[in-house]
Structure 1
């Protein structure tokens, strides 16, 4: 079985798909893989937001229940960093999910 360019050289595949779309050569676009990659991008973004929110909750719980005075400043700083990360990637649709 011959591997497609998508499987052999993902970056080159991206460059080629971009050129095809820019030229409006839609007949040559690898739609099956392109659609899958777009879906994966959305899934990855959702997973990132979920992960950061879980980490924020974990750190808030540590602050409230562990109360290690030596770690409080660090945990608060991390919460702020995670919050900024979430805000940078959060979209109205992700807010609804």
Structure 2
């Protein structure tokens, strides 16, 4: 979900046109797994400080089309203390996902 300071940006015409153009440019395919793309992701995250910088918000160089799973991995597993495929069990041991 977008931060409060970014909600207006994501509802704006400039972003909607940029997103549609980028989606088409990438033929609707996730750039990581080649599955059906869903989310146009900002590689350098939008912040309160850079929200008005079109080189960050609207540049194809900062965009990546991702499927829902790859986007979730980017945002949720990126901050994980383990590498992908590993996790801590209830005893605190590092184990491999099955």
Give the shorter-chain TM-score range: under 0.3
Q: TM-score, normalised by structure 2?
A: 0.24
Larger Rg: 1
Q: TM-score, normalised by structure 1?
A: 0.25
The answer to which structure has the higher strand fraction is 2
